[in-house]
Chains A and B, each alone.
Chain A
Amino acid sequence: MKIYADNAATTKMSENAIHTMVSLLEDSWGNPSSLYAHGQMAKEVLEKARADVAAVIGASPDEILFTSGGSEADNQALRSVAELGRKKGKMHIISSAFEHHAILHTLERLKKEDFEVTLLDVHENGLILPEEVEAAIREDTCLVTIMFANNEIGTIQPIREIGRICREKNVLFHTDAVQAVAHVPINVKEDNIDLLSASAHKFHGPKGVGFLYAKKGIRLTNLIEGGAQERGRRAGTENVPGIAAMAEALKETSSRMDENTAHLTKMRDKLISGLAEIPHSALNGDATHRLPSNVNFCFEGIEGESLLLLLDDKGIQASSGSACTSGSLDPSHVLLAIGRVHDVAHGSLRLCLGEDITEEQVDYIIKSVKDVVSYLRGFSPVWRDLMSGKARFIL
C-alpha cells in the first residue's frame, strides 16, 4: 500500500490543472505584454485567471498579484506594510511565535531595520486569543500578521475576529493562508482581511506559483524591479501556464470543499482516536479548530526521523518536527511554541491526509504507526528509563 500523507508539504497536481498547464505551454506561449494576437491571447488567459482567483476569495481582480509562491507573497506583504508604517512613524508589528519562516525570517530582517516585533503566545492548543491581539496593539502598530492555519499542527485561528479588531484599531491585517486557501472557507471581505498570501501547490496546483491579495488602496513595495507587469508591482514575464493552472486547481478544489471537509474530518478524527490509543502519546494542537486533513502527534521515547523512515518502508509518506529532519539541533519551533519540551518534540509525526484517503488506508496507518512506535520503543534507552521509573513521563 502506498499512502501519501504529507499534503501540507505539497499536493499532487490535479489532472485538470496539468491539462490546463500543458495545453497553454503548447498553444498559448506568447508574452502577455506583446500587442499581437498571440500575446494578447496569453494576456486574456492571465486576466481570466486573475478574475477566477479573486472570485474564489471574494476579492476584486485588481486586488490579486501573482507571485512565485507563498514565501514571496509573505515577504512582499510584510515589506510593503512595513514601508507604509515607516512613513507614518509606526514601526511596531504583531505576529505569533509559530508563523512560517517566510514570516518569521522577514520579521527578523525588519527588526534589524529598527522595527519592533511582538510575537503572541499561541498557547497549548495552538490558538491565538483575539483579546491578546487587541491588548498588544499600540499607537505605533502598523501591522498584525497571523497565519490562517498552521502548517504543522493545522490549527485554524479566529481570523475574522482578529481582522475585526484590526479594522477597529485601524491597523492593517495580513494572513499567511497558504495552508487554508481552497481547504477552508475564506472571504477576504467578510473575514476582514487586508492582505493574504497563498500558494498553488498546496491545493493541487503547480509549484512556483502563488498570489498575494492586497485590498484596494494598499500600496505595495516591489521585491523585483523591472518591467511593468502586475501593475508595476512585480516585474518579470508572467508564468501564464502556471498561473492558469493555479486558478483551475483553486476553482476545482474549492468547489469540492464541503464534501472534502466532511470526508476528511471523519478520516482525521478516526486517525486521531486510533493513534491516541498509543500509550504516552498526545495530539498536538486543538482537536476541533484544525484543518480537516491534519493530524500531528508526539510519541514519548522515540525519535521522529526513524519513525518516518520505517513508515516509508511500509509505504506511508509523512513528516516530523524532529531536529534530525530539519538539519538543525532544534526540533520544530511550532511544537516548542505550544509548550512541547525538546525531548518530546523530537518524537513528533505529522500526517496530512489527501482528499482521496480511504477508511482502509486510515486503519493501515494506525496499525503501522502503532507497530513502528512500539518497535522503536523496544530499544530506546529513554523509553527504558521511563518504564523503570528512572525518568518521569511527560505525556
Chain B
Amino acid sequence: MALYSEKVMDHFRNPRNVGVIEDANGIGEVGNAKCGDIMKMYLKIEDDVIQDVKFETFGCGSAIASSSMATELIKGKPVSEAMKLTNKAVAEALDGLPAYKMHCSVLAEEAIQSALEDYQKRTGKTFE
C-alpha cells in the first residue's frame, strides 16, 4: 500500500500549470516556510473567466499535487464558480489524501481564494 493514491502521485510527478504568469491580475500566497508549506497562485482573468492559472509550491508531495489539482479544477471557469472551490473537492479529485495531509488541500483552497480576493480588490468587483 503506497502512501498516496495514483492520482496524487501523477499530479506530484507531472504537476499541471506550474510556473508564473507575468501579467497576472490575481495573485495569492498562503502558508509559511516554518510549517513547511507555501503555495502561490497566479490568475489571468478576462471577462471574469479564469483564462490561465499557474502555481508555485514549496511543500510535500501532497501539497504539490493539491496545488496542481486545484489549478485544473478552476482553469477556464468563471470567477463566481471558482469561488466555490472547496478543499474537499480538491481531495476527492485526487482520490483522497491521508488524514494528516488534508491540510494540504485546505491550503490549495485558501491559495485560490486569496488570488481571487486579490482580483476583486484590483478590479473593485465583488463576487458571491
Contact = CB atoms under 8 A, between A and B. Distances in A.
B78 interface: no
Contacts of A381: 29, 38-40, 56-58
Contacts of B19: 379
A380 B19 CA distance: 9
Nearest to B67: A379
A70 interface: no
A306 interface: yes
Contacts of B36: 303, 322-324, 329, 331, 342, 346
B60 A322 contact: yes
A9 interface: no
Contacts of A327: 100
Nearest to B36: A346
Interface stretch (B10-18, B43-51, B116-124): B10-18
Contacts of A384: 20, 56
Contacts of A323: 35-36
Contact of A379 (B9, B18, B34, B60): B18
B63 A303 contact: yes
B15 A343 contact: no
A343 B33 contact: yes
B52 interface: no
Nearest to B19: A379
A224 interface: no
A305 B61 contact: yes
Given A306-B64, A379-B19, A301 B58 contact: yes
Interface centre among A322, A324, A331, A346 (most CB of B within 10 A): A324
Interface string A331-365: 10000000000110010000000000000000000
A22 interface: no
A192 to B, nearest CB: 41
A303 B59 contact: yes
A306 B33 contact: no
Contact of B58 (A303, A310, A329, A331): A303
Contact of B56 (A306, A342, A380): A380
A309 interface: yes
Contacts of A379: 15, 18-19, 55-57
A380 B35 contact: no
Given A322-B36, A380-B58, A306 B12 contact: yes
A178 to B, nearest CB: 26
Nearest to A305: B60
Given A306-B12, A327-B100, A382 B58 contact: yes
A331 B35 CA distance: 8
Chain B contact residues, majority secondary structure = mixed
A305 B40 CA distance: 19
Interface string A304-335: 11100110010000000011110101010000
A383 interface: yes
A324 B97 CA distance: 13
Contacts of B33: 342-343, 346, 382
B37 interface: yes
Contacts of A196: none
Given A305-B60, A383-B58, A329 B35 contact: yes
A246 interface: no
B15 to A, nearest CB: 7
Contacts of A324: 36, 59-61, 63, 101
A327 B99 CA distance: 10
A139 B110 CA distance: 56
Contacts of A305: 60-61
B37 to A, nearest CB: 7
A110 to B, nearest CB: 29
Interface in B32-91: 33-40, 55-61, 63-64
B56 A303 contact: no
Given A323-B35, A331-B36, A380 B60 contact: no
Task: State the 9 A-B residue pairs at the shortest beta-carbon distance, nearest first.
Answer: A324-B60, A305-B60, A343-B33, A381-B40, A346-B36, A342-B34, A382-B58, A380-B58, A381-B56
Interface of B: 9, 12-13, 15, 18-20, 29, 33-40, 55-61, 63-64, 100-101
Given A324-B36, A380-B57, 9 more contacts: A302-B58, A303-B59, A306-B12, A306-B59, A325-B60, A342-B33, A342-B36, A343-B34, A346-B33
12 contacts: A303-B36, A305-B61, A306-B61, A322-B36, A322-B60, A323-B36, A324-B61, A329-B35, A381-B40, A382-B33, A382-B38, A382-B58
